[in-house]
Amino acid sequence: MTRERLQKVLARAGVASRRKAEELIRQGRVTVNGAVATVGDKADPDRDAIKVNGKGLGAPPVLRYLLLNKPAGFITSRSDPEGRKTVFDLVAPRHRSNVEAVGRLDYQSEGLLVLTNDGELAQRIAHPRYGCKKTYLAKVKGRPGPEALARLRRGMVLDGHKTAPAKVKPAAPRGRRQAKENSWWTVEIAEGRTRQIREMFYRIGHPVQRLRRVAIGPVEDAKLPVGSYRELTPAEVVALRDK
């Protein structure tokens, strides 16, 4: 194997995401052949002795990729001080021991969530610079007018920072009628700030009543039952890497 940036090697080994791996390096907790590493160093895991907190990387982990259809009423953290149910309660013990949720869906939101121990892929999905877009189906109160929709599409300031432009178009969920008092919209964003879509619609006066993520990049699965999960196919993993 050729020499690669150390944070990439650590992410592939399942130690942490690239960003967290950089933090470990800056903290002086990573050594290469006995020398304390610095950010920007390169290494070959097949030839170099790489240690984190004094322990070698060991054999590369078996990488696991799960796609879960999160129900409302679950959090995406591994544990919760308030005792609420987590998405890991939905996963068999043999599958959940070494995976983490990529990104977040808030407590009341539903939809697709990737669970993996591949730190490099997690970074490509979660970090905005890679452009992995997420698509949502939102039921909102009332019907936003042209000016309100234009605000969503061109971006708006949330917590002092302007959001990137969003794609917003009308949606009619199969088998359901559009009621006069609410409307459905398909929203595509590439950032995923905390409660971003809910806050965006709230700002234009049309609070979200229901929110479901229906696609992560090129990956979607309308047939996956709510509360169930499956392995991502090799082709889906490749598609997420290339996105």
Q: CATH code at 152?
A: 3.30.70.1560
In this prediction, residue 179 has a pLDDT band, given cuts at 50, 70 and 90, of: low
In this prediction, residue 175 has a pLDDT band, given cuts at 50, 70 and 90, of: low
Q: Quick one: 40 and 71 in the same domain?
A: no
Catalytic entry in 41, 48, 106, 221: 106
- Average pLDDT along the chain: 91
pTM: 0.80
Q: Is 106 among the catalytic positions?
A: yes
Asked if 65 and 216 count as a contact pair (C-beta separation under 8 A), the reply is no
- Give the pLDDT confidence score for residue 154 in this predicted structure: 94
Average of pLDDT values for 127-139? 92
Instruction: State the residue range of the domain holding 115.
Output: 65-128+219-242
- Give the pLDDT confidence score for residue 132 in this predicted structure: 92
Average of pLDDT values for 54-65? 85
Token pair belonging to 190: 């590439």
- Say if residue 107's pLDDT is above 90: yes
Sign of CA dihedral 172, 176, 177, 178: negative
In this prediction, residue 12 has a pLDDT band, given cuts at 50, 70 and 90, of: confident
Instruction: State the Cα–Cα distance between residues 85 and 70, nearest whole angstrom.
Output: 11
CATH number at residue 223: 3.30.70.580
Instruction: State the Cα–Cα distance between residues 80 and 219, nearest whole angstrom.
Output: 28
Average of pLDDT values for 15-43? 91
CATH number at residue 8: 3.10.290.10
Q: Quick one: 92 and 161 in the same domain?
A: no
